Amino acid sequence: MEQIRKEIEKLRKQISHYAKMYYVYDTSEISDFEYDAMFRKLQELEAEYPQFDDVNSPTRRVGGRVLDKFEKVTHTVQMGSLTDVFSFDELNDFLVRTNELVPSPLFSVEPKIDGLSVALTYENGEFVFGATRGDGFVGEDVSENLRTIQSIPLKLGEPLSFCVRGEVFMPRQSFYKQNEKREALGQPLLANPRNAAAGSLRQLDSSVAASRGLDIFIFNLQSGNLYLDRENPDSHFEMLDRLKELGFHVLPNRIRASSYEDIAAHIETIGSMRDELAFDIDGAVVKMDSISERTTVGEGTTTPRWAVAYKYPPEQKQTKLIDIFIQVGRTGVLTPNALLEPVRLAGTTVSKATLHNMDIIREKDIRVGDTVIVQKAGDIIPEIVASVKEKRDGSEKEYVIPKTCPACGSKVERDEDMAAVRCVNELCPAKRSRALAHFASKGAMNIDGLGQQIIDLLIANNLISDVADLYSLKAEDIEKLDRMGEKSAGNLINAIENSKSAGLERLIYALGIRQVGEVAATALAAKYKTLDNCFNATVEELCEIDDIGEITAQSFVDFFARPESRKLADELIAAGVLTESTAKPKGEKLAGLTFVITGTLPTMKRDEASDLIKSNGGKVSSSVSKKTSYVVAGEEAGSKLTKANELGIAVISEEQLLEMLN
């Protein structure tokens, strides 16, 4: 029994971790299919062993949290979620159970749109307000942004009062256009249409939402009457037809069926259309068509018993691995990437995929010339699942990691404690390019508009070679470059000028010293006060600082021992870059307390909340542990919130944090 308890706890921790990576960092470490299977396994174990029940288990959560920056709305009808099934056997089990309660029921089979669920309320034929699902009971009022969606009727032509539920999504074409614009401006690309739709709908400026090309499909009547002269039909399918008559954009590609064979066939039909659809789907929904029969079947604790969502496995395709090429990162790590024959996969054309490191290539026995199976991790990141060995003809070649850096020709070394192979040349041009991008990034010097593409353009035109060169750039030199102009050049120069006042905390992090993250950089700036003082640091005194270990200390000392670091510091000082700590004298209100900030806060950015806590004597950590005093949680807090609940750590809002500071 103890072994079962440990397995349940392990699953909870794994699910929390993967949720954090996906929702906080936009990184999919495993596919949606694998995540869903893990989630289902936890559900099964918790159902079989109720003695290990935990109110804070990931399985007990319906949805996200509520943003305070929008008005809160209590839903008149709960906006719940559906039980997932992953095979036709499980689908058949669901159909058998419902048939035992209701003889030969009709089912509606519909695509499951991958977007953000909202409820739209109409009174006397006019759109009154719309709200996100939130936690299923309370959502957020996003009416002004919903009004910008062209397919939402604002007046119905009949004085009807009701509430409908739909899924806001970003069509693929809109998604591609948004990323084309962002790429041209050197901005980070949107991860996927689902996240892009959610972010767009939560914009405070409705004009921003209007520019994103959002759309919506209505898939349910929540409450109210669709007719003036009679009652609603007992059929969900007919109510959607009626909503279409009233001007709503309702779910396409839906049918009614009663037999397992017809239902399964339409699920396969919907799945086969995924490439051709103008929007993303992540499954198919099977729900009883009769509203009265749904009442007979009933509701579960968090999901209805009269409906399930069939989840498609990740789409996989076979293609040829043409070559393996190396990308050199800012720390010199050589990352192998696959060059593929272009293949259409999950809605986009894929021609490249990451191979992570040499160990992965060996473990999967991937060779140049292989036929390989490709999928998108989390429907986002292309990856090679396996090689198809039976299709080898003998011409395939095993890949050998280069002994010299492909960017500079210098020797490479393998890290003893990692699977990484690293270029040791500090002057490597590829490392310099990535280092410049890190220097300009949001958490570092925050030079808006200076992305990797603009940096590479500046390097190619011999305008910069290191970070100090940024501060000698002139607008007239930049505006002559491709994709640049007078306005873009002026904005970039202003952003670079503004970065001079970032302070020592950000500067230390921006320098890209190995092992030195944002937390360590803040601690180091508090200790040494000026960049000049950092050159006198010793490993012994560094190890006395909280958050600094021996490896980080040695890396810090090694960096400042290099002659080029002294030269760079002198150039930055001469350029007018602030090389002193900007931290204000600390108050004592939060002394001795450690905070973790997670999710999107209502009025402050996370770095602003972090600075506020530190300025009042508190500490800010990036991970939740037993040493954490409070977790400050905003919207989409993810697994950090779950971990806090598991450990019994107090969770507070931004408002409560401010109350602690009067």
Give, as one character, the DSSP assignment of residue 447. Answer: -
Of residues 639 and 155, the one with the higher pLDDT is: 155
* Spatial strand order in the sheet of 619-621: 619-621, 594-598, 630-633, 650-652
Mean pLDDT for the chain overall: 85
The string of pLDDT tens digits covering residues 302-359 is 689 999 999 888 778 899 999 999 988 888 888 899 999 998 776 567 888 888 888 8
Give the count of alpha carbons within 13 A of 243, CB side only.
31
For residues 156-182, one letter each, b for 16 or more C-beta atoms within 10 angstroms of the residue's C-beta and e for the rest, the string is beeebebbbbbbbbbbeebbeebbeee
Of the candidates 29, 191, 68, 179, the residue with the CA atom closest to the CA atom of residue 599:
68
Domain chopping of the chain, boundaries: 2-60, 72-311, 316-402, 429-574, 594-660
Query: What's the CATH superfamily of 594-660?
Result: BRCT domain (3.40.50.10190)
% the chain with pLDDT above 70: 91
Which candidate in 112, 287, 431, 614 is catalytic? 112
Taking the model in full, what pTM does it have? 0.54
pLDDT band at 96 (very low <50, low <70, confident <90, very high): very high
pLDDT band at 436 (very low <50, low <70, confident <90, very high): very high
- Judge whether residue 508 has pLDDT over 80: yes
pLDDT value of residue 356: 81
- Judge whether residue 622 has pLDDT over 50: yes
What pairing do the DSSP bridges indicate for beta strands 281-288 and 307-311? Answer: antiparallel
pLDDT value of residue 585: 62
Cα–Cα distance measured from residue 399 to residue 358, given in angstroms and rounded to the nearest whole number: 9
How much is the average pLDDT of 233-239? 96
Cα–Cα distance measured from residue 432 to residue 329, given in angstroms and rounded to the nearest whole number: 9
pLDDT value of residue 64: 37
pLDDT band at 55 (very low <50, low <70, confident <90, very high): very low
Query: Residue by residue, what is the 3-state secondary structure of 235-285?
Result: EHHHHHHHHHHCCCCECCCCEEECCHHHHHHHHHHHHHCCCCCCCCEEEEE
The label of the residue with tokens 């409705």 reads 206
Of residues 262 and 19, the one with the higher pLDDT is: 262
Query: What's the CATH superfamily of 2-60?
Result: Helix hairpin bin (1.10.287.610)
CATH code for residues 316-402:
2.40.50.140
The string of pLDDT tens digits covering residues 371-417 is 999 987 655 678 898 999 999 999 999 998 888 999 898 888 887 65
Query: What's the CATH superfamily of 429-574?
Result: 5' to 3' exonuclease, C-terminal subdomain (1.10.150.20)
Strand partners, 83: 308
The string of pLDDT tens digits covering residues 516-568 is 888 788 889 988 999 999 999 999 998 888 778 888 899 899 999 999 899 99
* Residue 278 CB neighbour total at 10 angstroms: 12
The string of pLDDT tens digits covering residues 561-575 is 999 899 999 999 999
Helix (H, G, I), strand (E, B) or coil at 545: coil
% the chain with pLDDT above 90: 39
Q: Where are the alpha helices (DSSP H) in 251-376?
A: 260-272, 291-297, 358-363
Spatial CB neighbours of 493, under 8 Å, sequence gap ≥ 6: 473, 474, 475, 478
Q: What is the largest CA-CA distance in the chain?
A: 86
pLDDT band at 16 (very low <50, low <70, confident <90, very high): low
pLDDT band at 21 (very low <50, low <70, confident <90, very high): low
- Most confident region among 45-59, 284-298, 302-316 by mean pLDDT: 284-298
pLDDT value of residue 211: 85
- Judge whether residue 444 has pLDDT over 60: yes
* Residue 618, φ and ψ in degrees, nearest 5: -85, 170
- Judge whether residue 22 has pLDDT over 60: no
Give the count of alpha carbons within 13 A of 407, CB side only.
23
* CATH number 3.30.470.30 given to 72-311: yes
pLDDT value of residue 217: 95
112 is catalytic: yes
- Judge whether residue 127 has pLDDT over 60: yes
| Residues shown for the chain | 662
The string of pLDDT tens digits covering residues 37-51 is 877 888 888 877 777
Of residues 266 and 606, the one with the higher pLDDT is: 266
